[in-house]
Structures are given as C-alpha cells and as structure tokens.
C-alpha cells in the first residue's frame, strides 16, 4: 500500500510533466516544486519517527551550484538540506534538485538521511567564512570592465561599480552558520545550520538546546 511519501512523489512527477508541456509558468512551477519537496521531506521523516515522537522544529535550505564549465543557459544543480528536530534527536536530509527531474527524497536522487541523538551533542559552535568565490568574481568583473574601457564606455563604469560592490560584499559579509558538535565521531559532513537570520533556523537551534538540556548536555549560547 502506497504511503504519503509515495503519493507525493507521484504529485511531483505530475508537476514536472505539466512544466514540460508548458502548462505552468516557471514562477508557479518553482513555488509548487519547493512546497511539494518540503512536504515530501516531512513525509519521509514521519516514516522514521518512533511512537509518540513528533517534530517540534524544522528548517529548509536550497543551495545552487553553478559549474564554470556549465552553459549559462543550463539550470544549475541545487542541493537541499532539511533539518527536523524532535524531542529525542536531530534529523538531517541532504538531497539534490536536478533540472528536468522530480525530487524523490530517496536513493534515486541521492538523498542521505543522518540522525543525531541529543545525548551525543556536546555543544553548538558559531562558524564563519569569507565568500572568496564571490569576491573573486566581483574583482574579475571589475578588472574586465577596466581592460575593455574603450569598448564599454557606457556600461563599463556600472560594471566596475557592481564588481567592486560584489567583492566588498563577499569580504565584509561572510557566510555564517552554527555547527553541531558531537561526542565522538559524528555524521559527515558535520551538521551545519545555515540561514541563521531566518525564524525557522532560530527555532531549530532553540529546539536543539532544549534537547541537550533534557539529555544532560551543555546548552549554552554558541561561542
């Protein structure tokens, strides 16, 4: 008998077919794709929960990965990360959204599920990293505009300004996340909670701290 996850996979297949036929605007497709993908993640996690165990916080992120050798007309592959905090543990789903393929949230699209009981969490550490790639692209665009100054007499100054702004953003606004530290060897890669300004991220961190307190761990503020 098909479960909720299987029904949602069928819905996602139908959604991809509607897009391929041109029945959906791209904006509407992307919105429905995200909503259905999150619902599928919830259904997959629900199948793993024990009796009486419930999800008290969740947080979802999508990261785009554009390859240098990739055509600018080709949609970049997107990696997805979803966290679910229950009363007992933190669950992470890592998957991918590929152009022309409906996500399945299983081995077919490379989804990996990791679990971390709060009893194995020894702390939360605040991390940060400058966006060197963004800074390099910005400086490269500015340098190119300067070299082609005679050709780009109108757009050149704008390209220089936007490139320098992009480089400054990458250097002055580093990526920040909270890493979940474990007792002993933990899942690889380590649990990293990005998007800290979002309400869902703050709720997830609060849920992890609460789980650590109940399990007797350290639940103070990240350093």
The number of C-alpha atoms within 13 Å of 61 and in the hemisphere containing its C-beta is 18
In the predicted model, is pLDDT for residue 154 greater than 90?
no
3-state SS assignment for residue 77? strand
Percent of the chain with pLDDT over 70: 75
Q: What is the pLDDT of residue 36?
A: 92
What is the per-residue pLDDT across 15-41, written as a single tens digit (0 to 9) for each? 988 888 889 888 898 899 889 999 999
What is the per-residue pLDDT across 62-78, written as a single tens digit (0 to 9) for each? 876 444 433 333 455 67
* Tally: H helices and E strands in the chain: 5, 7
Question: Which is nearest to 42 in space by CA: 71, 94, 76, 5?
Answer: 5
Question: Which is nearest to 97 in space by CA: 34, 186, 184?
Answer: 34
- Find out whether 179 and 190 touch, Cβ atoms under 8 Å: yes
CATH 2.30.29.30 fits 4-128+174-215, yes or no: yes
Q: How far is CA 153 from CA 142, 144, 148, 159, 162, in A?
A: 13, 13, 8, 10, 15
Domain boundaries, the chain: 4-128+174-215, 132-165
Beta bridge partners of 129: 175
Q: How far is CA 49 from CA 46, 80, 86, 93, in A?
A: 5, 21, 9, 14
How many whole angstroms separate alpha carbon 29 and alpha carbon 37? Answer: 12
């Amino acid at each position: 008998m098909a479960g909720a996850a299987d029904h949602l996979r069928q819905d996602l297949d139908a959604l991809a077919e509607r897009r391929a036929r041109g029945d959906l605007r791209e904006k509407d497709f992307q919105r429905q794709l995200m909503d259905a993908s999150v619902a599928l993640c919830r259904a997959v996690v629900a199948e793993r929960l024990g009796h009486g165990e419930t999800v008290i916080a969740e947080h979802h992120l999508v990261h785009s990965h554009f390859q240098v050798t990739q055509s600018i007309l080709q949609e970049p592959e997107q990696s997805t990360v979803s966290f679910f905090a229950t009363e007992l543990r933190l669950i992470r789903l890592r998957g991918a959204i590929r152009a022309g393929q409906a996500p399945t949230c299983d081995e077919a699209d490379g989804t990996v599920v990791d679990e971390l009981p709060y009893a194995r969490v020894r702390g939360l550490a605040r991390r940060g990293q400058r966006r060197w790639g963004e800074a390099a692209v910005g400086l490269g665009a500015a340098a190119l505009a300067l070299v082609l100054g005679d050709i780009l007499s109108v757009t050149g100054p704008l390209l220089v300004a936007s490139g320098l702004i992009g480089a400054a953003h990458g250097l002055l606004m580093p990526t920040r996340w909270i890493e979940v530290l474990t007792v002993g060897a933990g899942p690889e890669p380590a649990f990293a909670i990005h998007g800290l300004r979002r309400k869902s991220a703050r709720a997830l961190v609060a849920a992890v701290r609460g789980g650590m307190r109940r399990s007797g761990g350290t639940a103070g503020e990240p350093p």
